[in-house]
A and B are shown apart, each in its own frame.
Chain A
Amino acid sequence: MKIKEVIAAINRMQADGVIGSYAIGGAVGATFYLEPVATLDVDIFVGFKPQPGQVLVSPSPIFDYLTARGGVVEGEYIVLAGWPVQFLPPNSPLVEEALAGAVTVDVEGTPARVFTAEHLAAIALETGRAKDKARLLQFVEAGALEVKRFQAILARHSLVDRWREFERTFLQKDT
């Protein structure tokens, strides 16, 4: 069970031209910047390559490629190296921007594309579930965000009011 093997498999898939850009998001992405937090799956955001004659993007080429190399499909997931992996299209302009701005991190010789800390935090704010708010709080408490870059992302994606509400709720000190 090794995430590093998952990353290597995705790199190979990219090199073979099955996917364009990719970036690791979710809890695994956050672990590049924070302390590790238990998670059950790996979220990979992918720039899907449109197939000729198809309007909707399809994950079929990914699943076909990976099952031919030992991956096992389980519902929406494909299990690689013991990890359920979910491939997700960018579902908002913020995630599209995050994918375009992802950075490459060296994991003991294996390059891994991952969202920046600021984009991961902004996506957590946009998604807004309880666990996303907890993750956002972790980013803030760890001092993992470059404030100016984070605020610029919030402004570009109309998230300033939501951030103020988050600050009021979770970050305001008692007076």
Chain B
Amino acid sequence: MSFDLERILESKRARRRSLANRPVAEKLAMLDALRERACTIRQAAAGREATVLRESPPEYRGTSRKD
């Protein structure tokens, strides 16, 4: 293990390639698991929209500061 950025990035690329090359059924099962995890996190999160399924992030509204 090292902090060589090039090696870290290459290992990330290799990991992505390896995942992409897995059988489709296995990748779809991973989507099932990812969604379950995302739902659990959302339900646990505090906030008014914690249980709402939202594909896109909420609209960004900048606030103007009045000093």
Chain A residues in the interface with B (C-beta under 8 A): 1-4, 27-28, 31-41, 77, 82-84, 105, 107-108, 112, 129, 131, 141-142, 144
Contact = CB atoms under 8 A, between A and B. Distances in A.
| Pairs A-B, 4 closest by C-beta atoms | A35-B19, A38-B34, A36-B30, A108-B25
Interface in B12-37: 13, 16-17, 19-20, 24-25, 27-32, 34-37
A40 B54 contact: yes
Interface of B: 13, 16-17, 19-20, 24-25, 27-32, 34-39, 53-56
Contacts of A107: 24-25, 28
15 contacts: A2-B32, A31-B24, A32-B24, A34-B20, A36-B28, A36-B30, A37-B34, A39-B34, A40-B39, A82-B35, A105-B24, A108-B25, A129-B56, A141-B13, A142-B16
A84 B37 CA distance: 15
B27 A36 contact: yes
Contacts of A33: 20
Given A4-B25, A41-B53, A35 B31 contact: no
B25 to A, nearest CB: 4
B24 A28 contact: no
Nearest to A35: B19
Residue among B24, B28, B32 with most chain A CB within 10 A: B28
A79 to B, nearest CB: 10
